[in-house]
Structure 1
Amino acid sequence: MELKVLDVCVARGGVPVLEGLTFEVAAGQALVLRGPNGVGKTTLLRTLAGLQPPLTGEVIYPEDSGAYASHADGIKAQLSVTENLAFWGDVHGADVPDAVFAAFDLEDLRDRLAGTLSAGQKRRLGLARLGVIGRKVLFLDEPTVSLDGFSVKMFARWLQGSHLAAGGIAVIATHIDLGIDAPELELAPFKAAPDARDGADEAFL
């Protein structure tokens, strides 16, 4: 399994923001996207995940193997931690591995209502979904928002030791060093040329 991105151009609101992107990520590998705010990291991730089409080029990976995780935690406040994970398991036809609770430091929170959790605990619960849904190709947009240093290391340990070690793939937009073994792709050089925007006002980018 691998992810192939071939001469892709992505757009925000119909306006090209990144162009000429070509790269591959093999099974068991991650790629970290770097670039200033507004360069198009989220737009690229959404395009790779199939949530919007590229203007040009191809994105190739096995069908139904991708998942996009945004800044939103995607949890139901009225459900417990266990019930939230079971909900996502049901959606994807998967059981909740017991190891997920330990991997994301949720063992003592199993019966707590998600709405009573701290911001960091909610984020860990949101990320724990990734260990339940069984998708091999993860597109992660600032996954460590609201996490303290200990929790960042915990997430990186799960990503490297569980997801990637099992042959998974991850493309991650982040401003911090996750401490994982992964090459980085600076997106600024792929910023779309002004003439590709048909004179659009950059204030809207």
Structure 2
Amino acid sequence: MLLSVSDLAVARGGVTVLEGMTFGVAAGQALILRGPNGAGKTTLLRTLAGLQPAVAGAVSVPPEAMAYAAHADGIKAVLTVAENLEFWAAVHGTRGIGAALEAMDLVGLRNRRGAHLSAGQKRRLGLARLLVTGRPVWLLDEPTVSLDVASVALFAGVVRGHLAGGGAALIATHVDLGLGEAVVLDLSAFKARAAAGTGAFDEAFG
């Protein structure tokens, strides 16, 4: 397994929202996270990414194996598309951005500054960062937001290529990415008793 989770509990705003989660994600596998708004998809991904502590349980993953794509695109407005990718490649100690530019159809935009990109173009650039991290486990939070149909298909192909190369992905999405043997994990089954009756949260905070 590239990622193993054992009896994990996670919290949002000091309230435990998910508990008793045990699952694993192997090389070549995609795990689709499902559940209503506020179910805890974002909270789970943030916890796995190490951005907040778990309430209980354990997460086992090789060092520096995970790349997290959140709601924000992480684009530096003053840098060009190419400069943004070069920056992230340097952060992760990798080289070469050509494959990422081609994969997300950004070659023609390589010299355009981030401030001058449309919402969909910014999203494609934000997702292209995954390809320069060199990391095998992708944590994706609603990755297709702001993408048109063609771009969704483009990104789905990128994910399939990542899986075929031995990578893994955990994806919070309601969009069918055509990932074939992807496993669906319904977070409703892990709703914590402490969260009952607290009301729904917007998924941006969930």
TM-based fold match above 0.5: yes
8 Å Cα contact 2:37-2:200 kept in structure 1: no
Q: Which runs of 5+ in 1 are unaligned?
A: none
Per the TM alignment, residue 96 of structure 1 is displaced from its structure 2 partner at its CA by 2.5
Residues in 1 aligned to 2:176 and 2:124: alpha-carbon distance in whole angstroms: 18
Per the TM alignment, residue 201 of structure 1 is displaced from its structure 2 partner at its CA by 6.7
Tell me the residue number matched to 2:53. Answer: 53
Q: Where in structure 2 are the equivalents of 1:1-205 lying within 5 Å?
A: 1-161=1-161, 163-181=162-180, 182-193=182-193, 196=194, 202-203=198-199, 205=201
Q: Identity of counterpart residues, as a percentage?
A: 63
Classify the secondary structure of the residue corresponding to 1:146: coil
TM-score (norm 1): 0.93
8 Å Cα contact 2:21-2:190 kept in structure 1: yes
Per the TM alignment, residue 133 of structure 1 is displaced from its structure 2 partner at its CA by 1.1
TM-score (norm 2): 0.93
Q: Which runs of 4+ in 1 moved over 6 A?
A: none
Per the TM alignment, residue 13 of structure 1 is displaced from its structure 2 partner at its CA by 1.7
Classify the secondary structure of the residue corresponding to 1:152: helix
Residues in 1 aligned to 2:41 and 2:16: alpha-carbon distance in whole angstroms: 13
Classify the secondary structure of the residue corresponding to 2:77: coil
Per the TM alignment, residue 97 of structure 1 is displaced from its structure 2 partner at its CA by 3.4
Residues in 2 aligned to 1:122 and 1:183: alpha-carbon distance in whole angstroms: 29
Residues in 1 aligned to 2:157 and 2:119: alpha-carbon distance in whole angstroms: 20
Tell me the residue number matched to 2:204. Answer: none
Residues in 1 aligned to 2:52 and 2:81: alpha-carbon distance in whole angstroms: 31
Residues in 2 aligned to 1:40 and 1:204: alpha-carbon distance in whole angstroms: 10
CA deviation vs aligned residue, 1:96-141 (integer Å, no higher than 9, x gap): 3312111100011111111111110110001000000111111110
Per the TM alignment, residue 31 of structure 1 is displaced from its structure 2 partner at its CA by 0.2
Give the AA of the match of 1:174: T
Per the TM alignment, residue 203 of structure 1 is displaced from its structure 2 partner at its CA by 4.3
Residues in 2 aligned to 1:19 and 1:50: alpha-carbon distance in whole angstroms: 17
Residues in 1 aligned to 2:101 and 2:112: alpha-carbon distance in whole angstroms: 13
Residues in 2 aligned to 1:123 and 1:97: alpha-carbon distance in whole angstroms: 17
Change (3 A) 1:201 1:190: closer
Classify the secondary structure of the residue corresponding to 2:71: coil
8 Å Cα contact 2:28-2:165 kept in structure 1: yes
CA deviation vs aligned residue, 1:9-67 (integer Å, no higher than 9, x gap): 11112210011111111011110000000010000001111111211111111011112
Give the AA of the match of 2:156: A
Classify the secondary structure of the residue corresponding to 1:202: coil
Give the AA of the match of 2:178: G
Residues in 1 aligned to 2:29 and 2:96: alpha-carbon distance in whole angstroms: 24
8 Å Cα contact 2:81-2:112 kept in structure 1: yes
